[in-house]
Chains A and B, each alone.
Chain A
Amino acid sequence: MKRRTILSRLGFLTEADDVGRKQRQAISELLEKLSKKEKALRKELEDEKSESGRRKLKAKLKACKAQRKKGEALLEDS
């Protein structure tokens, strides 16, 4: 049994703490996924020659990066 689960069962963690913890964990997982995606996109962008293809990849990268930054800020604040 995990430490936090034991603490939660013993009543040292409130329900809100638990929800917050789960959310932070989910954000961390998403951030990990986003980082991987960014790396792959960066690589794709380097290989992409066509202008329109680059525009589309840039939009994808922008979204990825903005989401990652937003997630990092959220984790920092919590």
Chain B
Amino acid sequence: MIRRILLPVIFGVLAWGFWISPDFKEIAAGVAIFLFGMIFLEDGFRTFTGGLVERILTRITDRYWKSLTFGIVSTTLLQSSSLISVITISFLSAGLLTLSAGIGIVFGANLGTTTGAWLVAGFGLKINLSSYAMPMLVFGVILVFQSSRTLKGIGYVLSGIGLLFLGIHYMKEGFDAFKETIDLTRFRMLGFAGLLVYSLIGMVATVVMQSSHATLILIITALAAGQVSYENALALAIGANVGTTVTAIIGSLSANYQGKRLALAHLVFNVFTGLIAIVFIHQFVAAVEWFSVRVGIAATDYTLKLAVFHTMFNICGVIAMSPAIGIMVRMLTRVVPEPKIAFIEPKFLNDSILEFPETLFEAAKNETLHLYDSALEIITHGLNLHRHVVLSETDMEAFLETDRTLIDIDLDTRYARSVKALHSAIVGYLSRAHAHLPQDYADRIYLLRKASGEIVQAVKDVKHLRKNIVKYVRSPNATVRREYNALRYPIAMVIRTFDRLRKQDPEVDVLDFDQFKILINEDNSVATGALDGLIRDGRVTPEMATSLMNDYGYARSIVWNLASAGEILFGHADAAARDAETLLRLDEEEIEGLLGKDAPSEDVRQ
């Protein structure tokens, strides 16, 4: 219920926000573009999974010191810890890195970012990567259209980075109005309270300006103008260090659980480092003074002093946190658990019945039917049919001709959750059970295992068939629609027969499946060879024809597999009667032999 109303509520709040505040609109657009960039980045890195990039990344981050160094060097080169953090999050989300390697990189990035202040202060050098954002976006999009997988991957990565910067740009623009309200003198206070308040201001200012660098410049200006005390300026720098994690947190919104864990690690590290700096502020001040005197930094050169302070407390943070990486990983794993996919579990199989063949057989049969029930939803919806229609007495042919509704289903997820998991459990259990069974039961259990395999195969075939079913059963071309309905009809009827057998309908027996094996051979142009004529007459395009050829194979396989599973599951209880059914059932060769033999009405009078 809550889920159902959540999205409209979010949309409503956002729309109201956009209506009353153009700045809010820009910030929200910035976040959206930023997240879009993250998706691109992850998709891009995913193309490198299992390749050279993954091998290189694994090699250069397989030890803590290596990942730490990688973080320091890459951030120093790119001068953006936020970018390195979000890229690391996407590495992690794409499965290219382990969480501990990611944590090492993020810690390293925190150290690497301190070099920025040194470069500015020492050499007046400022690397502004955002100026490359637009070209990256343009080059990236061009590369995305290339056929080479690698170039496409690079294209996605470049476009992703470009979009990240574009997003940050919009967020900054949106926050510009709020920037004016940041008055550093308003909260001027001394002591511990001052430290906490200014840390908070530093954090908020960095979130607002989307740049810890901009906050540092603001701090230096305020300090030079005497608006804040030196200690409060240091507190602002501590806050900026925490505020800068917001980019990674936003970035993790689109990431998987691993990316979220890393963003949390980043926040924990920066908050912890900030707390160390606040608690030991006097010691840090003394250390900065001592160091400044030793290296000849002027007493009023606050830019360099802030750089020294920034570096010192981050080094302290890394030293303090490094031994606790293992604990941190465990904590993160607990706080952000891997999302559990709700797999369907066996309902009837348990170890207590392993010694009782008849009970075990019944349980295995029920479990196979349970698998069939799970598969049925995928099979019917995959064929764009509702179960209640297939299982009713509805005139299936008339229904297929008129129905144009499209049933939405995520076949892959459904298959993984409800069919594959259950099938694996059945196979595993029956393999174990095999050792406990007398020969006659072992043979019957083997058949049940075969039946469950056939049900799974039918689901896999539906997955292939689905694409063209969706495309052609709603096509304006009546011929192709008829041809696809001719494929759907026997499958639907096999399912209906299956259901009637299950309900022990006396009018039906397992031999009834054979008519649908014949029907799928005779009632479509692929098997009868009429397809060439349809192409020549222009009633179907060659593309439609090739689709039909492939899909006929899948549909035929579905009919045969489901029929075979039904024959196994609903064969007569009496062994002799069951054998008689098996003997009379038509095999593939016999069905093929019937193809083209017409006029059965006269035939049967013989």
Is the beta-carbon distance between A61 and B601 smaller than 8 angstroms?
A: yes
User: Within 8 Å of chain B (Cβ to Cβ): is A7?
Assistant: no
B519, B575, B600, B603: which has the most chain A beta carbons within 10 Å? B600
From residue A58, how far is it (CB to closest CB) to chain B in Å? 5
For B, the interface residue count at a CB cutoff of 8 angstroms equals 33
Is the beta-carbon distance between B518 and A59 smaller than 8 angstroms?
A: yes
A34 to B245, CA, bound (A): 77
- Nearest to B598 among chain A residues (CB) is A58
A70 to B594, CA, bound (A): 13
Contacts of B509 in A (CB 8 A): 33
Is the beta-carbon distance between B605 and A42 smaller than 8 angstroms?
A: yes
Residue in contact with B604 in the complex, picked from A38, A71, A74, CB distance below 8 Å: A38
A29, A41, A66: which has the most chain B beta carbons within 10 Å? A66
Is the beta-carbon distance between B580 and A27 smaller than 8 angstroms?
A: yes
Given A30-B511, A74-B583, do A65 and B577 touch, yes or no (CB 8 Å)? no
Contacts of B518 in A (CB 8 A): 59, 62-63
- Nearest to A28 among chain B residues (CB) is B580
Contacts of B584 in A (CB 8 A): 27, 30, 34, 67, 70-71, 74
- Nearest to A31 among chain B residues (CB) is B584
A66 to B485, CA, bound (A): 26
Given A52-B397, A63-B514, A70-B584, do A58 and B601 touch, yes or no (CB 8 Å)? yes
User: Within 8 Å of chain B (Cβ to Cβ): is A26?
Assistant: yes
Is the beta-carbon distance between A62 and B597 smaller than 8 angstroms?
A: yes
Is the beta-carbon distance between B594 and A23 smaller than 8 angstroms?
A: no
Given A22-B576, A26-B577, A62-B594, do A55 and B604 touch, yes or no (CB 8 Å)? no
Chain B positions 585-603 with a Cβ under 8 Å from a chain A Cβ = 585-586, 590, 594, 597-598, 600-601, 603
Given A61-B601, A65-B603, do A23 and B511 touch, yes or no (CB 8 Å)? no
Contacts of A64 in B (CB 8 A): 515, 604
- Nearest to A56 among chain B residues (CB) is B519
For A, the interface residue count at a CB cutoff of 8 angstroms equals 31
User: Within 8 Å of chain B (Cβ to Cβ): is A19?
Assistant: yes
A3 to B594, CA, bound (A): 41
Is the beta-carbon distance between B576 and A26 smaller than 8 angstroms?
A: yes
From residue B572, how far is it (CB to closest CB) to chain A in Å? 8
Is the beta-carbon distance between B576 and A65 smaller than 8 angstroms?
A: no
Contacts of A66 in B (CB 8 A): 514, 586, 590, 594
Contacts of A65 in B (CB 8 A): 600, 603-604
Is the beta-carbon distance between B583 and A70 smaller than 8 angstroms?
A: yes
Contacts of B586 in A (CB 8 A): 63, 66-67, 70
Contacts of A30 in B (CB 8 A): 511, 577, 580-581, 584
Residue in contact with B579 in the complex, picked from A23, A34, A67, CB distance below 8 Å: A23
- Nearest to B482 among chain A residues (CB) is A52
Given A26-B574, A26-B576, A27-B584, do A67 and B514 touch, yes or no (CB 8 Å)? yes
Main secondary structure, interface of A, reads: helix
Contacts of A58 in B (CB 8 A): 598, 600-601
User: Within 8 Å of chain B (Cβ to Cβ): is A14?
Assistant: no
From residue B75, how far is it (CB to closest CB) to chain A in Å? 71
Contacts of B516 in A (CB 8 A): 59
Residue in contact with B522 in the complex, picked from A23, A46, A55, A67, CB distance below 8 Å: A55
Chain B positions 407-446 with a Cβ under 8 Å from a chain A Cβ = none
Given A65-B600, A65-B603, A70-B590, do A60 and B583 touch, yes or no (CB 8 Å)? no
User: Within 8 Å of chain A (Cβ to Cβ): is B345?
Assistant: no
Given A22-B576, A26-B576, A66-B590, do A59 and B583 touch, yes or no (CB 8 Å)? no
A68 to B585, CA, bound (A): 10
A19 to B575, CA, bound (A): 9
User: Within 8 Å of chain B (Cβ to Cβ): is A8?
Assistant: no
Contacts of B574 in A (CB 8 A): 26
A64 to B605, CA, bound (A): 13
Chain B positions 485-527 with a Cβ under 8 Å from a chain A Cβ = 509, 511-512, 514-519, 522-523
Per-position binary interface string of chain B over residues 561-583, scored 1 when its CB falls under 8 Å from any chain A CB and 0 otherwise: 00000000000101111011101
A71 to B511, CA, bound (A): 12
Is the beta-carbon distance between B601 and A62 smaller than 8 angstroms?
A: no
Per-position binary interface string of chain A over residues 36-78, scored 1 when its CB falls under 8 Å from any chain B CB and 0 otherwise: 0010011001100000100110111111111100110010000
A25 to B579, CA, bound (A): 11
Contacts of B603 in A (CB 8 A): 61-62, 65
B-to-A contact residues, CB < 8 Å: 397, 509, 511-512, 514-519, 522-523, 572, 574-577, 579-581, 583-586, 590, 594, 597-598, 600-601, 603-605
Q: A26-B574, A55-B523, A63-B518 are in contact. List 13 more A-B contacts (CB 8 A).
A: A26-B576, A27-B584, A30-B511, A30-B577, A45-B601, A55-B522, A59-B516, A59-B518, A59-B519, A61-B603, A62-B594, A63-B515, A64-B604
8 chain-A/chain-B pairs, Cβ below 8 angstroms: A26-B577, A29-B577, A29-B580, A56-B523, A60-B515, A65-B604, A66-B514, A70-B586
The 6 closest A-B pairs by CB, nearest first: A26-B580, A22-B576, A63-B514, A63-B515, A59-B519, A61-B600
